[in-house]
Structure 1
Amino acid sequence: MSAFQIREFPNDLKRKLARRARTNNLTMSDYALAVLREALGRPDPMELRDRLRKLAPVDLGIPAADLLEECRHESRLVSARR
Protein backbone atom coordinates (compact mmCIF):
# COMPACT_ATOMS: atom_id res chain seq x y z
CA MET A 1 0.00 0.00 0.00
CA SER A 2 1.35 3.44 -0.83
CA ALA A 3 1.46 6.51 1.39
CA PHE A 4 -0.80 9.48 0.75
CA GLN A 5 -0.36 13.02 2.04
CA ILE A 6 -2.72 15.97 2.00
CA ARG A 7 -1.04 19.36 2.16
CA GLU A 8 -2.68 22.39 3.75
CA PHE A 9 -5.38 20.31 5.42
CA PRO A 10 -7.78 22.72 7.15
CA ASN A 11 -7.63 22.61 10.97
CA ASP A 12 -11.41 22.42 11.36
CA LEU A 13 -11.53 19.31 9.14
CA LYS A 14 -8.64 17.76 11.05
CA ARG A 15 -10.47 18.27 14.36
CA LYS A 16 -13.65 16.79 12.91
CA LEU A 17 -11.74 13.83 11.46
CA ALA A 18 -10.00 13.22 14.79
CA ARG A 19 -13.28 13.41 16.72
CA ARG A 20 -15.08 10.99 14.39
CA ALA A 21 -12.13 8.61 14.36
CA ARG A 22 -12.08 8.56 18.18
CA THR A 23 -15.85 8.01 18.29
CA ASN A 24 -15.42 4.98 16.02
CA ASN A 25 -12.32 3.69 17.84
CA LEU A 26 -10.20 4.12 14.72
CA THR A 27 -7.02 5.95 13.88
CA MET A 28 -7.41 9.07 11.80
CA SER A 29 -5.78 7.25 8.88
CA ASP A 30 -8.15 4.28 9.12
CA TYR A 31 -11.20 6.52 9.44
CA ALA A 32 -10.11 8.73 6.51
CA LEU A 33 -9.54 5.61 4.41
CA ALA A 34 -13.02 4.29 5.29
CA VAL A 35 -14.60 7.63 4.35
CA LEU A 36 -12.72 7.71 1.04
CA ARG A 37 -13.64 4.10 0.25
CA GLU A 38 -17.31 4.84 0.87
CA ALA A 39 -17.29 8.06 -1.18
CA LEU A 40 -15.35 6.54 -4.07
CA GLY A 41 -17.53 3.44 -4.05
CA ARG A 42 -20.51 5.51 -5.19
CA PRO A 43 -20.74 6.70 -8.78
CA ASP A 44 -19.98 10.38 -9.26
CA PRO A 45 -22.69 12.52 -10.88
CA MET A 46 -21.13 12.28 -14.35
CA GLU A 47 -20.88 8.47 -14.15
CA LEU A 48 -24.46 8.27 -12.94
CA ARG A 49 -25.64 10.54 -15.76
CA ASP A 50 -23.82 8.39 -18.33
CA ARG A 51 -25.32 5.19 -16.91
CA LEU A 52 -28.83 6.65 -16.96
CA ARG A 53 -28.43 7.84 -20.55
CA LYS A 54 -27.68 4.26 -21.63
CA LEU A 55 -30.97 2.96 -20.24
CA ALA A 56 -33.91 2.46 -22.55
CA PRO A 57 -36.75 4.96 -22.20
CA VAL A 58 -39.71 3.87 -20.09
CA ASP A 59 -43.31 4.56 -21.07
CA LEU A 60 -45.00 5.78 -17.90
CA GLY A 61 -48.40 5.92 -19.52
CA ILE A 62 -48.76 9.60 -18.66
CA PRO A 63 -46.34 12.52 -18.90
CA ALA A 64 -43.66 12.56 -16.19
CA ALA A 65 -44.62 16.14 -15.29
CA ASP A 66 -48.15 14.94 -14.44
CA LEU A 67 -46.75 12.19 -12.21
CA LEU A 68 -44.52 14.69 -10.40
CA GLU A 69 -47.43 17.05 -9.84
CA GLU A 70 -49.52 14.18 -8.48
CA CYS A 71 -46.73 13.19 -6.07
CA ARG A 72 -46.32 16.78 -4.91
CA HIS A 73 -50.07 17.06 -4.34
CA GLU A 74 -50.10 13.83 -2.30
CA SER A 75 -47.08 15.02 -0.31
CA ARG A 76 -48.85 18.29 0.52
CA LEU A 77 -51.92 16.34 1.67
CA VAL A 78 -49.83 14.12 3.94
CA SER A 79 -47.99 17.15 5.36
CA ALA A 80 -51.29 18.94 6.04
CA ARG A 81 -52.55 15.95 8.06
CA ARG A 82 -49.60 16.09 10.45
Structure 2
Amino acid sequence: MAGVYEKSVTDFRRKWDKDEYEKIAKEKLEAEQMALLEKELKEPPVKRELLQPREYKVDLDSKLGKSQVITKTTPASQQGG
Protein backbone atom coordinates (compact mmCIF):
# COMPACT_ATOMS: atom_id res chain seq x y z
CA MET A 1 0.00 0.00 0.00
CA ALA A 2 2.92 2.34 0.56
CA GLY A 3 3.73 2.42 -3.16
CA VAL A 4 0.21 3.50 -4.11
CA TYR A 5 0.19 6.21 -1.45
CA GLU A 6 3.57 7.57 -2.53
CA LYS A 7 2.51 7.75 -6.16
CA SER A 8 -0.62 9.77 -5.39
CA VAL A 9 1.37 12.17 -3.20
CA THR A 10 4.19 12.68 -5.69
CA ASP A 11 1.95 12.61 -8.76
CA PHE A 12 0.11 15.82 -7.96
CA ARG A 13 0.31 17.45 -11.38
CA ARG A 14 -2.85 17.77 -13.43
CA LYS A 15 -2.96 15.51 -16.47
CA TRP A 16 -4.20 16.99 -19.73
CA ASP A 17 -5.89 14.90 -22.36
CA LYS A 18 -4.23 16.47 -25.40
CA ASP A 19 -6.48 14.69 -27.89
CA GLU A 20 -9.63 15.99 -26.21
CA TYR A 21 -8.41 19.61 -26.06
CA GLU A 22 -7.13 19.43 -29.63
CA LYS A 23 -10.57 18.25 -30.76
CA ILE A 24 -12.25 21.11 -28.86
CA ALA A 25 -9.84 23.64 -30.40
CA LYS A 26 -10.51 22.35 -33.92
CA GLU A 27 -14.28 22.53 -33.39
CA LYS A 28 -14.00 26.09 -32.09
CA LEU A 29 -11.81 27.11 -35.03
CA GLU A 30 -14.22 25.57 -37.54
CA ALA A 31 -17.17 27.31 -35.88
CA GLU A 32 -15.38 30.68 -36.04
CA GLN A 33 -14.53 30.16 -39.71
CA MET A 34 -18.13 29.22 -40.54
CA ALA A 35 -19.44 32.28 -38.68
CA LEU A 36 -17.01 34.50 -40.58
CA LEU A 37 -18.05 33.01 -43.94
CA GLU A 38 -21.75 33.44 -43.11
CA LYS A 39 -21.16 37.06 -42.13
CA GLU A 40 -19.29 37.76 -45.37
CA LEU A 41 -22.09 36.20 -47.42
CA LYS A 42 -24.87 38.07 -45.62
CA GLU A 43 -23.54 41.62 -45.46
CA PRO A 44 -21.96 43.47 -48.34
CA PRO A 45 -19.13 45.78 -47.28
CA VAL A 46 -20.17 49.27 -46.18
CA LYS A 47 -19.40 51.94 -48.76
CA ARG A 48 -18.30 55.13 -47.03
CA GLU A 49 -17.97 58.61 -48.42
CA LEU A 50 -14.55 60.08 -49.00
CA LEU A 51 -13.27 62.75 -46.63
CA GLN A 52 -14.46 66.25 -47.46
CA PRO A 53 -12.76 69.57 -46.65
CA ARG A 54 -14.40 71.83 -44.06
CA GLU A 55 -16.82 74.41 -45.36
CA TYR A 56 -15.96 76.84 -42.55
CA LYS A 57 -12.82 78.39 -41.07
CA VAL A 58 -11.65 77.09 -37.71
CA ASP A 59 -10.71 79.96 -35.37
CA LEU A 60 -7.74 78.73 -33.35
CA ASP A 61 -5.91 82.03 -32.81
CA SER A 62 -8.62 83.94 -30.90
CA LYS A 63 -8.42 81.75 -27.76
CA LEU A 64 -4.69 81.06 -27.86
CA GLY A 65 -3.06 81.64 -24.45
CA LYS A 66 -6.36 82.30 -22.65
CA SER A 67 -7.94 80.37 -19.79
CA GLN A 68 -11.65 79.70 -19.40
CA VAL A 69 -13.57 78.32 -16.41
CA ILE A 70 -15.94 75.50 -17.35
CA THR A 71 -19.08 75.11 -15.23
CA LYS A 72 -22.28 73.08 -15.51
CA THR A 73 -23.98 75.92 -17.39
CA THR A 74 -21.22 76.35 -19.99
CA PRO A 75 -22.57 75.50 -23.46
CA ALA A 76 -21.19 72.31 -25.02
CA SER A 77 -19.77 74.27 -27.95
CA GLN A 78 -17.45 76.19 -25.57
CA GLN A 79 -16.30 73.22 -23.49
CA GLY A 80 -13.01 71.47 -23.96
CA GLY A 81 -12.71 68.13 -25.67
Superposed pair shares fold, TM > 0.5: no
Query: Larger C-alpha radius of gyration, 1 or 2?
Result: 2
Q: Please, what TM-score do these two structures have when normalized by structure 1?
A: 0.28
Which one has the bigger helix percentage?
1
